[in-house]
A and B are shown apart, each in its own frame.
Chain A
Amino acid sequence: MGKIIAVHSYKGGTGKTLMSVNLATTFAKQGKKVVLFDLDFRAPSLFSILNMPKAECWLNDYLNGTCDINQVLVDMSDKIPGNGKFLVGLASPATEAIRDMSAKDRKWEMRALGRLLSLRNSILNEKGFDYIIFDTSPGLQYSSINAIVTADFVIVATTGDRSDVDGTRRMLRELYNLFEKKTGLVINKVLDGSSLSKRQEMTKKVREIYQVPLLGLVPCFCDILRAEGGLIFCTDKPDHPFTKILGEMTQKIERNEVS
């Protein structure tokens, strides 16, 4: 049976979208059937990162109940080597759509939760997909919490920034624990993250501070900054250390090693 994964963080700029795209493409490269959704309605970015053609409908339309999920999905499998499937559902980048999404009331959010939950049946059960990945907004946004509630597993991206550490710790305790979610932490932009001693030190620190399993440590790679969001590392740079780290993360998720 397929899995729903949400990629979330307390603060912005922690690398959620980079991780979501590369995680999805890594799974697809391994032959898996994956759907990636942009649930960051306040700052949609998959549209430009993946340099995609305009979709027939946006994810906003699906959540508004004005279209079917099949009209939202764009098949990007031809961008991925191998036999895997890679489909994407985009959030509308139009200013009007962003404003509209931020003005939704609780009843709309409740219906949106129902529609997200129904993706398990329509995509994982009926179409036989292996993974749905949600790229979410940072912090305690309605759309992000809807994604967390829907997900089987949540990846929390964080950095060494003190305010991020405090906020993430609080969020894990006051949000994730309440929903009893399986969570894995990814520390991004780690200085000297390639050295073994640093990795051991960080692993110990994560257990003490966050009390959740560590899914991965991503060193601060200048190549990622240089790419300016124009590369999908897992397909464009298959030998890059970042691609290898993502590969290890997918193995851990596959083997259910993170609980």
Chain B
Amino acid sequence: MLFSFFASEVTGDGCSDDSYYYVVRLNKPALPILYTRKTLTRGKNVNKEEAFGRKPLTVLEKIRENLERLNDKMEVMIELQKTGRKDITQPLADTPLDVMTLLSMPDHLRKTAMTICRCGRATAEEISEQTSRARAVESAYLNQLVIMGYLKKERKGRKAYFYADRETQG
């Protein structure tokens, strides 16, 4: 569902899910191609005269943001496939990230959750610097904690910030 929505939004054609996966994993080099396809096939959305002005840059930025969001979601899904959804035991509501919850978490998620507790508010990149694990891995774990309701996620431009919302919970 997610893939098909994204597909119509970005490429506007009927490729298989596998090809989107390929495009998304290599999103940065693939961007100009996507844009060209969109320009040619969806002339209504992007004016050809504007193609060399500011608007294309905005569109490209938007596409990049969408691709990054999709990437985040795919990393979560890949992680969930690996772990067989065993980690998700809580409903998708705001759940307090207290010490007893930290204790009950699987080791890999606990490490990420504890680091975000210490940092307060951080990107996947910043967390990965602390845990010495890959950014993509931390991104997957952070998104998983968001789905589980322990963390909140907020985008500022191209950066996604994660935090435990201690003040509003409860």
* CB-defined contacts of A175 to chain B, threshold 8 Å: 103
A108 to B169, CA, bound (A): 9
| B34, CB-defined interface residue at 8 Å | no
A111 touches B99 (CB 8 A): no
CA of A175 to CA of B99 in the docked complex: distance in angstroms?
Answer: 11
Report if A117 contacts B (CB, 8 A): yes
Q: A109-B98, A146-B99 are in contact. Are A117 and B118 (CB under 8 A)?
A: yes
Task: Flag B55-80 by CB within 8 Å of A: 1 or 0 each.
Answer: 00000000000000000000000000
- Chain A residues whose CB sits within 8 angstroms of the CB of B97 once the complex forms: 110
Q: Using A111-B167, A117-B117, A149-B117 as known contacts, say yes or no to A106 and B96 having CB atoms under 8 A apart.
A: yes
CB distance from B148 to the nearest CB of A (A): 14
Question: Does A113 have its Cβ within 8 Å of any Cβ on chain B?
Answer: yes
Question: A-B contact count, CB below 8 Å?
Answer: 54
Which residues of B are found within 8 Å of A107, using beta-carbon distances? 96, 98, 169-170
Give the contact-size bracket for chain B: 20 to 34
B window 96-153: CB within 8 A of A: 96-103, 107, 110-111, 114, 117-118, 120
CA distance A118 to B164 in the complex (A): 13
* Residues of chain A within 8 A of B111, CB atoms compared: 180
- CB contact between A113 and one of B117, B167, B170 (< 8 Å): that residue: B117
**A211→B96 CA distance, assembly (Å):** 33
Question: Knowing A107-B169, A178-B107, A178-B110 touch, does A114 contact B96 (C-beta < 8 A)?
Answer: no
Q: Judge whether B99 and A105 touch: CB under 8 Å.
A: no
Q: SS class of chain A's interface: helix, strand, loop or mixed?
A: helix
* Nearest CB on B from A116, distance (A): 10
**Does B28 make an interface contact (CB < 8 A)?**
no
Q: How far is A142 from B98 in the complex, measured between Cα atoms in Å?
A: 9
On chain A, the residues within 8 Å of B118 by CB distance are 117
A110 vs B99: C-alpha distance in the bound complex, in angstroms? 7
Please list the residues of chain A having a beta carbon within 8 angstroms of any beta carbon in chain B: 105-111, 113-114, 117-118, 142, 145-146, 149, 175, 178-180
* Given pairs A107-B96, A110-B97, A113-B99, 14 additional interface contacts (CB within 8 A): A106-B100, A108-B170, A109-B96, A109-B99, A110-B164, A110-B169, A114-B117, A117-B117, A117-B118, A142-B99, A178-B107, A179-B102, A179-B110, A179-B114
